[in-house]
C-alpha cells in the first residue's frame, strides 16, 4: 500500500509570496494533520482535518490555512511568506490515534 | 517550560549496545505516547505506540510509560549502525494534535 504522499518535495520562494503544499493520505484514512518542523526541532502541530472539517488548530498565524477535499487529500496554504517560515512541512494521516507521516515538503524562503 | 522535554544529544554508542532514550512531560492530559524515528531529511517513521502505563515490546524495541512520574522511555537492544537517526517522542491528549519532543540524535558506531 502507498504511504502518505506530499508534493512538491522542495520549494524555494521569496518573502511575501504565497505557497500551496499538497498531501494525499493513506487509502482509507479520513484524517489529515499538518506539522511544521524547523531544523533541529520536533514537528509543531498546525492543523487537523477530519471529513473535510477543521478539528484542530495549533498556535500559528492566520497566514496559514488549509482545506481537505472529498477524496481526503489536503492542501496547506501559507500567505505573505516570512523568512521564518522556512521549514520542513509534514503531512500525517490517521485512521485512529496513530499518525503516519509523509516525507515532507522542504520550503526555503529567501 | 516546554510540555515535553527531550535531551537533544547527540548520543554515541558502539554497535551492539543497549540504548536508552527518555522524555519527560508536564501535561497530565496526555494519554497516548509514541516514538518516531527520523532519518536525515525524511519524514518521521512510527516505531512504537502505547496507551497505558507499563512496557510494550516489539522486536529490539521496548517502550516504557510511567504516567505517575510523567516519564517515557524507549530502549533499543543490540543497536545497529542503521539505527543511527533522530528519535522523537510524541504525545497526544486524544485530539490527534501531537506534541513532540525536540528529538535525540543517536549515532551507533560500527
Chain A positions touching B103 (Cβ under 8 A) are 40-42
Residue A46 zone, left/alpha/beta (φ > 0; ψ -120 to 50; rest): alpha
The predicted pLDDT at position B51 comes to: 86
Q: Which residue has the cell 501531537?
A: B98
pLDDT in tens, A46-91: 999 999 999 999 999 999 999 999 999 999 999 999 999 999 999 9
Looking at the complex, does the CB of residue A102 fall below 8 Å from at least one CB of chain B? yes
Residue B11 class from Cβ within 10 Å (0-12 exposed, 13-18 middle, 19+ buried)? middle
Q: Which residue among A55, A58, A98 sits closest to B49, beta carbon to beta carbon?
A: A98
Percent of chain B with pLDDT over 90: 86
The predicted pLDDT at position A3 comes to: 93
**Torsion of Cα atoms, A1 then A48 then B27 then B63, to 10°:** 0
Position A35 pLDDT exceeds 70: yes
The predicted pLDDT at position A1 comes to: 60
Chain B positions touching A33 (Cβ under 8 A) are 96-98
Position A45 pLDDT exceeds 90: yes
Instruction: Split chain B (110 residues) into runs of 10 and give each run's mean pLDDT.
Output: 89 97 95 95 93 91 95 97 97 91 96
Position A42 pLDDT exceeds 80: yes
Instruction: Find, in chain A, the residue whose alpha carbon is nearest to that of B43.
Output: A103
Question: Is A90–B45 a contact, with Cβ atoms under 8 angstroms apart?
Answer: no
Average pLDDT taken over every residue of chain A: 95
Amino acid at each position: 500500500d502507498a504511504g502518505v504522499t506530499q508534493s512538491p518535495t522542495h520549494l524555494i520562494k521569496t518573502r511575501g509570496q504565497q505557497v500551496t503544499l499538497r498531501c494525499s493520505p493513506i487509502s482509507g484514512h479520513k484524517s489529515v494533520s499538518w506539522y511544521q518542523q524547523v531544523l533541529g526541532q520536533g514537528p509543531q502541530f498546525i492543523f487537523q482535518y477530519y471529513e473535510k472539517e477543521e478539528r484542530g488548530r495549533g498556535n500559528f498565524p492566520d497566514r496559514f490555512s488549509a482545506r481537505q477535499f472529498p477524496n481526503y487529500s489536503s492542501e496547506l496554504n501559507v500567505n505573505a511568506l516570512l523568512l521564518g517560515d522556512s521549514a520542513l512541512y509534514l503531512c500525517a494521516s490517521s485512521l485512529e490515534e496513530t499518525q503516519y507521516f509523509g516525507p515532507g515538503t522542504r520550503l526555503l524562503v529567501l | 517550560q516546554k510540555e515535553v522535554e527531550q535531551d537533544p544529544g547527540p548520543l554515541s554508542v558502539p554497535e551492539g549496545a543497549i540504548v536508552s532514550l527518555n522524555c519527560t512531560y508536564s501535561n497530565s492530559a496526555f494519554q497516548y505516547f509514541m516514538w518516531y524515528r527520523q532519518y536525515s531529511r525524511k519524514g518521521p517513521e512510527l516505531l512504537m505506540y502505547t496507551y497505558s502505563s507499563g512496557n510494550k515490546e516489539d522486536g529490539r524495541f521496548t517502550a516504557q510509560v510511567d504516567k505517575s512520574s510523567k516519564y517515557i522511555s524507549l530502549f533499543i537492544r543490540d543497536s545497529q549502525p542503521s539505527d543511527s537517526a533522530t528519535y522523537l517522542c510524541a504525545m497526544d491528549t486524544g485530539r490527534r494534535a501531537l506534541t513532540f519532543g525536540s528529538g535525540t540524535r543517536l549515532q551507533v558506531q560500527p
